[in-house]
């Protein structure tokens, strides 16, 4: 008897819920429901939030190097890592993987002693870049474009400026070696957007 009562109660509950749901769908205009789903999805972060970056990996080039935070030099340029074996992450901009433009820089090394980062110049559109943060989360980026600029005329807004989507810009040296200045004539920039 008790069991019969339970079954009846559950049946009524399920039936009632189904009726309410059916009534709701009947009354709602499909476009409004779709829009509300779109709005809900827009408000939800597309990607997981990242901690400070620690490793930079490009499987296709065999690069796996550490990342350290950098600020500015006294003349207002983005600073660089203290060696040719790691990348500098500009800490005044977002973390790689977070919304906005994350910027990394790596030394190409002098012509007689090139660093592994000269390989960046062979990157093609569609190549995958991995960034691992210090909590071992990984963000995957896809190369969208590469470009060469002179340092004084580079589009700094495009490289460092605000963006809605998580974006990555990786800067290294390229062009002609200028012995008197101990630097190269140009800067090579890899642009990538987050995919995962």
Partner 1 sequence: MLSKTSAYIVSLLTILSVASLPASAVQSPVGCNSNRLALTLSRDKITVQRGDVLTYTIMLSNLDSGPNLACDIDTATVTLTLPAADGTATGQLVTLTTTGNYPAGTPITLIGTVPYTVNVDDGVVDASAEAEISGVLHDAPTDHSAQISKTIGTTILADSTPPSEEPSVPSTPSPTASSLPGMPNTSSRL
Binding to partner 1 (CB under 8 A) within 90-109 occurs at 90-95, 100, 105-109
**How far is the C-alpha of 63 from the C-alpha of 59, rounded, in Å?**
6
Window 108-137: contact mask with partner 1 (x via CB under 8 A): xxx--x-x-x----------------xx--
**In terms of C-beta density within 10 A (0-12 exposed, 13-18 middle, 19 or more buried), how is residue 157 classed?**
exposed
End-to-end CA distance of the chain: 56
**How far is the C-alpha of 74 from the C-alpha of 83, rounded, in Å?**
19
Q: Which is nearer to partner 1, 29 or 164 (CB)?
A: 164
Spatial CA neighbour of 140 closest among 67, 72, 47: 47
CB of 70 to partner 1, least distance (A): 7
Evaluated on CA atoms 110, 116, 122, 123, the torsion sign reads negative
Q: Report the DSSP pairing between strands 183-194 and 138-149.
A: antiparallel
CB of 172 to partner 1, least distance (A): 5
Q: Which is nearer to partner 1, 187 or 194 (CB)?
A: 187
Q: Which is nearer to partner 1, 16 or 82 (CB)?
A: 82
Residue 56 lies near partner 1 (rule: CB under 8 A) = no
Binding to partner 1 (CB under 8 A) within 14-33 occurs at none
101, 162 Cβ separation under 8 angstroms: yes
Window 142-161: contact mask with partner 1 (x via CB under 8 A): -------x-xx-x-xx-xxx
Binding residues for partner 1, rule: CB under 8 A, are 48-49, 51-52, 69-84, 88, 90-95, 100, 105-110, 113, 115, 117, 134-135, 149, 151-152, 154, 156-157, 159-162, 171-173, 182-184, 187
């Amino acid at each position: 008897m008790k069991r019969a009562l339970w079954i009846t109660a559950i049946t009524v509950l399920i039936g009632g819920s189904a009726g309410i749901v059916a009534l709701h769908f009947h009354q709602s205009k499909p476009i409004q429901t779709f829009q509300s789903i779109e709005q809900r999805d827009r408000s939800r972060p597309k990607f997981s939030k990242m901690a400070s970056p620690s490793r930079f990996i490009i499987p296709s080039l065999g690069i796996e190097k550490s990342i350290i935070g950098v600020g500015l030099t006294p003349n207002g340029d983005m600073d660089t890592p203290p060696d040719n074996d790691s990348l500098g992450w500009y800490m005044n901009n977002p973390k790689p993987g977070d919304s906005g433009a994350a910027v990394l820089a790596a030394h190409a090394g002098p012509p007689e002693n090139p660093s592994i980062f000269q390989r960046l110049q062979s990157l093609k559109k569609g190549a995958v870049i991995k960034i691992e943060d210090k909590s071992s989360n990984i963000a995957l980026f896809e190369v969208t474009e590469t470009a060469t600029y002179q340092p004084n005329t580079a589009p700094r807004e495009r490289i460092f400026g605000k963006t809605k989507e998580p974006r990555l810009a990786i800067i290294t040296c390229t062009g002609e070696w200028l012995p008197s200045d101990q630097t190269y004539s140009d800067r090579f920039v890899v642009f990538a957007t987050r995919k995962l």
